[in-house]
Amino acid sequence: MTKVEFGLIGDAELVEELSLLTTQTARMRARMADIMAELERRRCTRPAHARPHR
């Protein structure tokens, strides 16, 4: 959205859009944390011989 487009939208609409984006960001962060936890769980439960060497 450009500055010109922002100028055409009222305060309530901008606040609503910001709220929506904040909610989406929070959901994405939670999902990322879930995925990272699952990957860590899998890494820790893999037998030592199946783990890649670093």
What is the value of pTM for the model shown?
A: 0.65
* 5-48 per-position pLDDT tens digit: 888 899 999 999 999 999 999 999 999 999 999 999 999 998 87
Q: Is 12 helix (H, G, I), strand (E, B) or coil?
A: helix
Residue whose tokens read 């305060």? 11
The two tokens of residue 8 are 């055409």
* 43-53 per-position pLDDT tens digit: 999 887 766 66
Helix and strand numbers (H, E) in the chain are: 2, 0
HEC readout, 16-47: HHHHHHHHHHHHHHHHHHHHHHHHHHHHHHCC
